[in-house]
Structure 1
Amino acid sequence: MIRLGVIGTNWITDRFIEAALASGKYQLAAVYSRTMEQAKAFAAKYDTAECFDSLETMAASEAIDAVYIASPNSFHAPQAKQFLQAGKHVIGEKPLASNFTEVQDLIDVAQQNQVVLFEAMKATYTPNFYAMKQALPKLGKLRKVYLSYCQYSSRYQKYLDGENPNTFNPAFSNGSLMDIGIYPLSTAIALFGEPNSFTAQGALLDSGVDAHGTLVLHYRECDVVVCHSKVSDGIIPSEIQGEQGTLLVDFISECHGVKLHRRGEPVVDLSVAQDENAMRYEAEVFAELVESQQVDHEGLLRSQIVSAIITQAREIIGVRYPADKL
């Protein structure tokens, strides 16, 4: 049983705890918040042994084996590094860090301390993702791929009203590509590997982050278009086109459904049942890596490739974070 600590007391932390406990591989052992009052209020919902308002004290605690980090994006890397150096395994919410340099540094620290570092990218661990991946050979030679995740942010009206919510503030390493586009981009890399090259476009808000944008990943015989937005809603499925057929995928960030359209044949629904809380699968994979002490795993290479692309794409479209200057 993995004794889990959590950093962050928002809704996504609740969802991950729910998923982790449902897997039967974890017990919630510790909660961190900036104030002890907030930590205790959050922990009261669970049978939690310890609460912390000091990251240093929590990292040194013998009460936890691993930590889940769900703080604002800009805090992911420094907090993860602190716990990796303390010999704790780390599962960090996406994005793993603000830029490629930070991601590489975290991987180096994890290797040095022989602990597991894992990016919580639920899109690439669901049963329907694997159903999609297994179906690719049925499409014949791949030619065109369109992966889209566009979701109007619940905080956008606050931004329009003149407030400065974290989700549109470069100080917290936010923006559409980092928060939304990372889902279809990570899916593309998990399916097709590193592209030969890519192009990037984005529309910036006055705050300095991207509101929406497009990446085109160029492979030898196939282009993958990645569309993302935090200021509009997308309702059409993603699509993978081959010479023999096409796959349609609903809600690419969780792969709710997969349908195969082969030319001249009836449509086949390849969807499989999966947990309503898609975070369960990433929690299970992380637990398996920790239990087997598998410090080297394929997820690290994917995180490196994705972070390198996002870092370069931000440079192209003009999104700069304070973390980039460190």
Structure 2
Amino acid sequence: MKIAVVGTGMIAREALTALRRVEGVQVVTLCARPQSREKARALAAEFGVPQVATDYGAMLAAHEAQFVYLGIVNSAHFDYARQAIAAGWHVIVEKPFTSTLAEAEELIARARASGRYVFEAMTPLFLPNYRGMLEMLPMLGLIRLVQANFSQYSSRYDRYLERDVAPAFDPSCSGGALYDLNVYNIALIISLFGRPQSASYMANIGFNGIDTSGVATLRYNGFAATAAAAKDSESPSFFMIQGEAGWMRAEGTPNALPSFTLGLRGQEPEAMNRNRHAHRMVHEFEAMRDIFVRGDYARVEEGLRTTRTEMAVMEKMRLMAGIQFRAD
């Protein structure tokens, strides 16, 4: 399985770090904008990538790989993915999948029509610890409360306070705490419990109309789920499920689920870790490789259904909070 990585930022570096640990997967090209050519060359040399491209269309036309991984600014996900699908490529799109529900629906429709494998790189849903939590969920009995928190002080927040706006805090780039961090909480909740009956979002809005932190509430039959995320402050992150017969709590950031504890009423809590790799992204690339090798398009469809629901819920919450993206 051959992959072309697009992007030279932090997430592209993370992907390259993970991909060199995945057997049967080869990164053959690193693609960047012309102004990032030297950065791309340095990154390619560091990770042993044989080619650097600065013309995305020409790279797609050359077809020297099967998959393209898009580790680029959120607002560019849709256009780059659409071009790749049209050129016959399979696509791995970093979260959030797109800026709007309409964009997500179009990409999903195009992927289905052409039989392309299109994944959202939603790391927790590919982790063995997530599968363990999913298996043990019925042991908790009737669910009564779900709480999630992903809060980390952004390295770009001080710049933002000085009115120097990075893409992560730019509404025109589809940034903000909801789409950058809370997307992991919401994807986990939706994948475990399905579409909520209702959803709302209370956000702390910065000077340019972007959310720097906020709390989402998803209402289900018999319980509520709250998902907090912050780029303007920090605290211990976790993912907690409470049922009438017990509880589960994943410690650490919800995008990595580094461990989880099962506590059943009347029993000693048991800590577990089923993840095989320290780097969270290795698991997802291994899973995508295996799905592709098996020709398991049903698993692709399963992921796309979750992605579509996630995008629909987030868009509703975002607009409710008055956060407008350029893509709207």
Calculate the TM-score normalised by the size of structure 1.
0.95
Partner of 2:14: 15
Equivalent pair of 1:116/1:294 in contact (CA under 8 Å): no
Instruction: Tell me the amino acid that sits aligned with residue 320 of structure 1.
Output: Q
Measured after TM superposition, the shift of residue 273 of structure 1 is 4.2
Alignment of 1:68 with 2:72, yes or no, is: no
2:147 alignment partner, SS class: strand
Whether 1:28 and 2:32 are equivalent positions in the alignment is no
Partners of 1:70 and 1:132 in 2: how far apart?
28
**Contact 1:115–1:293 (8 Å) recurs in 2:** no
* Structure 1 alignment gaps of length 5 or more: none
Would the alpha carbon gap of residues 62 and 309 (structure 1) be closer, same or farther in structure 2, given more than 3 Å must change? same
Matched to 1:286, the amino acid is: M
Instruction: Name the residue aligned to 1:291.
Output: 293
Deviation at 1:5, TM superposition (A): 0.2
Greater alpha carbon shift after TM alignment, 216-225 vs 269-278: 269-278
Aligned to 1:304: 308
Q: How much does 1:283 deviate?
A: 0.6
Instruction: Tell me the matched-pair count.
Output: 323
State how far apart, in whole Å, the 1-side matches of 2:206 and 2:149 are.
20
Deviation at 1:154, TM superposition (A): 0.8
1:40: how far off? Answer: 2.1
- The TM-score normalised by the length of structure 2 is 0.95
Deviation of 1:195 after TM superposition, in Å, equals 1.1
Aligned counterparts of 2:320 and 2:129: Cα–Cα separation in 1? 33
Change (3 A) 1:273 1:321: closer
Alignment partner, residue 276 of structure 2: 274
State the match for 2:223 in structure 1. 222
Identity of aligned residues (%): 29
Kindly report structure 1 stretches of 4+ aligned residues shifted beyond 6 Å. none
Q: Where does structure 2 lack aligned partners over 5 or more consecutive residues?
A: none
Equivalent-residue separation in structure 1 for 2:213 and 2:112 (angstroms): 35
> CA separation in 1, counterparts of 2:305 and 2:237?
30
Where 1:322 maps in the other structure, the secondary structure is coil
**Aligned counterparts of 2:111 and 2:238: Cα–Cα separation in 1:** 37
Please state whether the residue corresponding to 1:323 is helix, strand or coil.
Answer: coil
Contact 1:128–1:274 (Cα < 8 Å) also in 2: no
- Hey, what's the Cα distance between the residues in 1 that align with 2:260 and 2:176? 28
Q: Aligned letter for 1:254?
A: A
Q: Is 14-23 or 306-315 further displaced after alignment?
A: 14-23
Cross-structure match for 1:212: 213
The 1-side partners of 2:269 and 2:8 are apart by 44
CA contact (8 A) 1:76 1:92 kept: yes
| Partner Cα separation in structure 1 for residue 19 and residue 301 of structure 2 | 20
Query: 1:101 aligns to what?
Result: 102
In structure 2, what is the equivalent of residue 262 of structure 1? 264
Q: Is the 8 A contact 2:150 2:237 kept in 1?
A: no
Distance in 1 between residues matched to 2:239 and 2:54, nearest whole Å: 42
- Contact 1:66-1:89 at 8 Å conserved across structures: yes
Determine whether 1:3 maps to 2:2: yes
Mapped to 1, the partners of 2:159 and 2:310 lie a distance apart of 30
Aligned-partner Cα distance in 1 for 2:238–2:293: 36
Q: How far did 1:236 drift? A: 5.2
Aligned counterparts, 1:144-159, within 5 A = 144-159=145-160
Residue type of the alignment partner of 1:58: M
Shift of 1:321: 0.7
Deviations, residues 299-319 of structure 1 (Å, cap 9, x unaligned): 100100000011111110011
Instruction: Say whether the 8 Å CA contact 2:262–2:269 is kept in structure 1.
Output: yes
Secondary structure of the 1:138 match is: helix
Letter in 1 for 2:249: L
Secondary structure, counterpart of 2:213 in structure 1: strand
Aligned partners of 1:169 and 1:209 also within 8 Å: yes
**Amino acid corresponding to residue 86 of structure 2 in structure 1:** Q
TM-superposed CA distance for 1:268, in Å, is: 1.2
2-structure distance, mates of 1:236, 1:48: 35
1:174 aligned to 2:178? no
C-alpha distance in structure 1 between counterparts of 2:315 and 2:80, whole Å: 20
Change (3 A) 1:69 1:51: same
Q: Does the residue aligned with 2:327 lie in a helix, a strand or coil?
A: helix
| Aligned counterpart, 1:118 | 119
Counterparts of 1:15 and 1:25, CA distance in 2: 18
Query: What SS does the corresponding residue of 2:63 show, helix, strand or coil?
Result: coil
CA distance in 1, matches of 2:146, 2:78: 32
Contact 1:89 / 1:290 at 8 angstroms: preserved in 2?
A: no
